[in-house]
Structure 1
């Protein structure tokens, strides 16, 4: 027997399950424009119709009966929502996670199925898409990016003294994955320019943990190295710099390794797994 009052939340015989978003939307949402699940706080109109807090801010009357909004909350339905596991908002893209509504914001911020912006630096590109569509996008729309199939590469930064903000980009394919190598020169407020070297895996955070990269500068009787884990594509270039998850030197240090004003940056990618494509 179905428990009375629970069918709207997809709870039957004490076992929680999730309804398809469209069915839930028809029975619970105020606006046909809102395809999200009705989550606490749940507001009622004077006649008991329910609305989420987001839709409540858009309406002065009930969109179902046109009656006045009471501002009261449906506490019984909110209580039921505490035991239901809801799907991720990116389920349409392939995410199969189910979670309590209190865990949804944190999960969806990091969900690998959410649409990603174009990672190309210094670009006005407004593309957004799924992870598997990112490499074809970069290959088709950003043809200036050099693409290599090797574990080691070097980028020559010509005339490091000239110009303000500049970017140098490579895409490397190895170990079954694509990596984005970015050198970016940025001006600081104190007048001291800095050079950052960032490696981004076009993959998930979990996949990035299986790789390391090695940055090396070589000068006359000098050597400077840096080892780190690639940033996942979720973070992007700005976040990697902000979190100091990248190689960074100021211009005065870069001069010590430059030859005729040109700086050569060596980058090597390494895999921590014997069979990286199998996990």
Structure 2
């Protein structure tokens, strides 16, 4: 006679717990205790995999590690020890963007964090106006208002086809002319720089920069053109984004470059007019 097992005597293998994604402060599942586990002992930022530690277990982030020879807490050797256990914990976490204090509310896995921060719209940018010592820093959307309110020499003109007028181009020494062009819902900063390449030899460099991201800049092209009754000189290119330094493009001559005698040929009464057209793909 077979005996039927009672419900209390039945045993089943428990299913493995589902891996949860936890969240650090700045989310609804904030935990100061968890946050402290990932705090760099040098800069107080987050320590993300690979996670180096000293011989006594204190953590430093990858940015601080190359600058240190000893632990900032116990002065022990740093070496190449990794905290593998904490790295596994980090794989289950969501970390806040480092621009949280600027308004970003995103939380991300550590493998996505750096890529997001590179294009985060809350990332603070320095003032892009060349030829100034402006110390301002602010969000992307605040750059245009800053230029218009705090740089009186920067004028703004509407339209995809405009004339960029540089006055008194024969003024000795290096000089910058800057203008904002507004079209297609964006501001483009037009820059003409006169630089002394070596003694007695000056060149002009003209470039357009989108006050937007690299991805947005790829949707546009610009044309600079010098014209006279019998001559025409043209340059076309993709505008630099706000993430790319104008100075770097000028060093590489990756812009509209022309000699002083060329500028004088197209100038009228010491003023140079550059026709500018912005195209949207």
Question: Normalised by the size of structure 2, how large is the TM-score?
Answer: 0.76
1:20 pairs with one of 22, 25, 38: 25
Quote the Cα distance in structure 1 between the aligned partners of 2:83 and 2:219.
Answer: 47
Alignment of 1:184 onto 2:193: yes
2:247 pairs with one of 215, 238, 242: 238
Q: Which residue of 1 aligns with 2:10?
A: none
Quote the Cα distance in structure 2 between the aligned partners of 1:213 and 1:114.
Answer: 26
Q: Which residue of 2 aligns with 1:69?
A: 76
Alignment of 1:35 onto 2:45: yes
C-alpha contact (below 8 Å) 1:25/1:35 kept by paired residues: no
1:268 pairs with one of 260, 273, 277: 277
Unpaired segments of 5 or more residues in structure 1? 4-11, 273-279
1:152 pairs with one of 158, 161, 169: 161
Alignment of 1:210 onto 2:219: yes
Q: 1:213-248: CA deviations, max 9, x gaps?
A: 111101241101111111111113212323444211
Aligned residues: 258
SS in 1 for 2:197: coil
Q: 1:158-193: CA deviations, max 9, x gaps?
A: 343331111111112211111111111111025321
Q: 1:58-107: CA deviations, max 9, x gaps?
A: 796674xxx55353442443466568675542344427473545x75566
Q: Indicate how the Cα distance of structure 1 residues 173 and 30 shifts in structure 2: closer, same or farther if over 3 A, else same.
A: closer
Once the two structures are superposed, the pairs formed by residues 119-198 of structure 1 within 5 Å of their partners are 119-189=128-198, 191-198=200-207
Q: Which residue of 2 aligns with 1:44?
A: 54
Q: Indicate how the Cα distance of structure 1 residues 184 and 53 shifts in structure 2: closer, same or farther if over 3 A, else same.
A: closer
Quote the Cα distance in structure 2 between the aligned partners of 1:220 and 1:161.
Answer: 22
SS in 2 for 1:160: coil
Q: Indicate how the Cα distance of structure 1 residues 30 and 69 shifts in structure 2: closer, same or farther if over 3 A, else same.
A: farther
Quote the Cα distance in structure 1 between the aligned partners of 2:279 and 2:63.
Answer: 46
SS in 2 for 1:162: coil
Question: Normalised by the size of structure 1, how large is the TM-score?
Answer: 0.76
Q: Which residue of 2 aligns with 1:6?
A: none
Unpaired segments of 5 or more residues in structure 2? 1-13
Q: Indicate how the Cα distance of structure 1 residues 130 and 193 shifts in structure 2: closer, same or farther if over 3 A, else same.
A: same
Over alpha carbons, which structure has the higher Rg?
2
Quote the Cα distance in structure 2 between the aligned partners of 1:184 and 1:62.
Answer: 46
Q: Indicate how the Cα distance of structure 1 residues 194 and 58 shifts in structure 2: closer, same or farther if over 3 A, else same.
A: same
Quote the Cα distance in structure 2 between the aligned partners of 1:264 and 1:54.
Answer: 47
